[in-house]
Chain A
């Protein structure tokens, strides 16, 4: 008799527990998705910053690199394409091309020690380095949250909540080219 009376309480308690658990998992998924969106938008903001820096970089180098007009033109074209592709699926590929163009500029710079000593140029390169690291930090954050979403989506029993609320596996943010293979402007002979 006593256990029969207890049953509704146990059932309601279990139901409340499940609802609370469901809400918690769902909120975790939403928080991770929002953080992903935030990191993604931070990548775009920093890519824009990088695009804005490039004309100044080209201007600063022009005076010293009279014979490198082709390289500078390549950078300008790559930057225009990257700006146009910003936010679209083509963005990583366009950014990779811009990376390659900047890498070529870096190789040419070795032949112009006066340029490397130029104060304005050094300042621009520092800003560029900073922006590139911020892009990298945003990408890493995006990937960390993507991993979190994917774990919840794939692991049992949280996968039930994800499936019920329409959450799917997210794609990791990967640069189109291996950034480690892309030569960066390294005026100071060091990487942090």
Chain B
């Protein structure tokens, strides 16, 4: 039995996961750390083995030449171009091999541990603390749905999403996931030079709205461009809200039914906590894009597998996202929608 952290006995959160699983993960974690450092050490050790001979060859007197013991012709051995090409080619090949080695034997065990931790521990913790929720670490939000919201003036060129939660909070169906969307930008001077620009990273939050509505509406930060998509801009009574957001809709009356005065206030309060928030109302659902640089729902390699702190962080994160339902009063069912 490995020497275990005091958290084994004290944390109630840890109790959500079978002890054998945590022991197995702790063992895996230690092996992953060992593998990571071993590969880093090997890589560092290999560098002088390659670089020093390369420098010796390039600085050979009277002119650079490959070692005489190599089974190659004399003309090739002393040809300046060949020497330089061979040296740099060898150094490059060794670098590529080291990077592959680092990824395969150093980073892969680490990633596998972090993935297994989410799959085994976070899933069990979610089940125990949020019984009406399912945590699907490998699933995310759909790229098609993300683009269909038209909350940005361009379509996404690269999209990734993970850590999906779905379930019911009170009377409201909720789904949320981490997502990242990027687009290809071209250099104005050189049109062949392209780079990826991440324009959204954060949480995509979808909740069943508590009122029936048939229109499609979008709320974007004031001054941000969007495509019209057959929608007209709405001038709302709340000056504060209008200063913070531009609102586009297919139906002005329906929009005002959705955005009651109190809903505008609540969205404003939410946007204070999540600057540059965007929202979309369609298909009787509220969809929020909440930008965040933080990587949520991730385990830490240097935290003990039984550390209650990282489990508590996970619980707090889930809880804080679910609080949006209460903040926006979505559980209030005083309208005909059940």
Spell out A's residues near B (CB within 8 Å): 35, 38-39, 42, 123, 125-127, 129-130, 133-134, 136-138, 140-141, 143-145, 147-148, 187-188, 190-192
Contact = CB atoms under 8 A, between A and B. Distances in A.
Nearest to A133: B257
Which bucket holds chain B's interface residue count? 20 to 34
B223 to A, nearest CB: 21
B263 interface: yes
B335 A126 contact: yes
B336 A130 contact: yes
B256 A126 contact: no
B252 interface: yes
A144 B335 contact: no
A144 B259 CA distance: 14
Contact of B237 (A127, A129, A140): A140
B166 interface: no
Given A130-B211, A133-B260, A192-B260, A141 B253 contact: yes
A188 B333 CA distance: 8
Contacts of A130: 211-212, 335-336
| SS class, residues of chain B in contact with chain A | loop
Interface in B249-278: 252-257, 260, 262-263
B256 A129 contact: no
B235 A192 contact: no
A129 B334 contact: yes
30 contacts: A35-B252, A39-B252, A42-B253, A123-B336, A125-B334, A126-B333, A126-B334, A133-B211, A134-B253, A136-B260, A137-B255, A137-B256, A137-B260, A138-B253, A138-B256, A140-B256, A143-B237, A144-B237, A144-B252, A187-B334, A188-B332, A188-B333, A188-B334, A190-B329, A191-B262, A191-B334, A192-B260, A192-B262, A192-B332, A192-B335
A1 B336 CA distance: 76
B215 to A, nearest CB: 11
A190 B332 contact: yes
B253 A127 contact: no
A147 B235 CA distance: 10
- Max chain A Cβ within 10 angstroms of own Cβ: one of B234, B254, B262: B254
Contact of B336 (A126, A144, A148, A188): A126
Nearest to A145: B252
Interface of B: 210-212, 234-237, 252-257, 260, 262-263, 329, 332-336
Contact of B235 (A129, A144, A191): A144
Contacts of B329: 190, 192
The CB with the most chain A CB atoms within 10 A, among B252, B253, B262, B329, is that of B253
Given A126-B333, A140-B256, A191-B262, 14 more contacts: A129-B334, A129-B335, A130-B335, A134-B253, A136-B260, A137-B253, A137-B254, A138-B253, A140-B237, A144-B237, A144-B256, A145-B252, A188-B332, A192-B334
A184 to B, nearest CB: 10
In the A-B complex, the 9 residue pairs with the smallest Cβ-Cβ separation, listed nearest first, are A137-B256, A137-B257, A130-B335, A140-B256, A141-B253, A141-B252, A188-B334, A126-B336, A130-B336
Contacts of A138: 253, 256
Contact of B253 (A39, A148, A191): A39
A192 B234 CA distance: 21
Contact of B334 (A136, A145, A190): A190
Contacts of B235: 144, 147-148
Given A42-B253, A192-B260, A192-B262, A133 B332 contact: no
A48 B263 CA distance: 26
A35 B253 CA distance: 10
B139 to A, nearest CB: 32
Contacts of B255: 137
Contacts of A125: 334
B251 to A, nearest CB: 9
A8 B239 CA distance: 46
